[in-house]
Copies of this chain bind each other. A is one copy, B any other.
Amino acid sequence: MFPEKMQKVIEWFGSLPGIGHKSAERIAFYLLGLPPEKIKSFSEDMLSMNRGVKACSACGNYADSDLCGICGDESRDPSVLCVVESPKDVIVFEKSSQYRGRYHVLGGKLSPLDGIGPDELNITRLRERVEKESVKELIIATGADLEGEATADYIAGLFKEGGLKVSRIAFGIPFGSNLDFANSATIEKALKYRVDISKDKKN
């Protein structure tokens, strides 16, 4: 139905996450209308990203150079590290604009069934950073699932001695959401970690 050269491009785009076949077709038609220089420059940017973006040598986040933008930013508080599973999580925190500390990217979570133990995660580097940098608090922001919880417990266990504060991000009802949509595990967390607000009223 499509010329073979077009069909190939449609299949490429269709294989990308979130792009259906219909969208892939629309994109192929669109690309046919672009000057070849644009396609070349698009291709070069993709390859340059694929080859040039590496793990930050400090935190493991994606970086253009040795250090990522956050580790290289002197204005970020070096005394707090938010420990996350992946670079995607860094983006989620950064989008909220609520965090001024730095990160540490584990590159996954403990999952014995998948053969992922502590050695497969970026944990040796975390210990080094805690020893050598002026870290005062780790905020563990691994996922709210069993593996994420196990990873959080494991890291908390590693730093039991030495006066480092290790905290876990709060779990509860998503803000702006209706109670109807919360599952039992969320309700359990929301009850367990309920906050006394009578103090707020008194002050």
Contact = CB atoms under 8 A, between A and B. Distances in A.
A3 to B, nearest CB: 4
B48 A5 contact: yes
A119 B5 CA distance: 30
Interface string A1-25: 1111110110010001111000101
Interface of A: 1-6, 8-9, 12, 16-19, 23, 25-32, 34, 36, 39-40, 42-53, 62-64, 68-69, 87-88, 91, 94-95
21 contacts: A1-B91, A2-B91, A3-B62, A4-B64, A5-B48, A5-B64, A12-B42, A12-B45, A16-B30, A28-B49, A29-B87, A31-B46, A31-B49, A34-B50, A36-B47, A39-B50, A40-B47, A42-B46, A43-B43, A43-B46, A43-B47
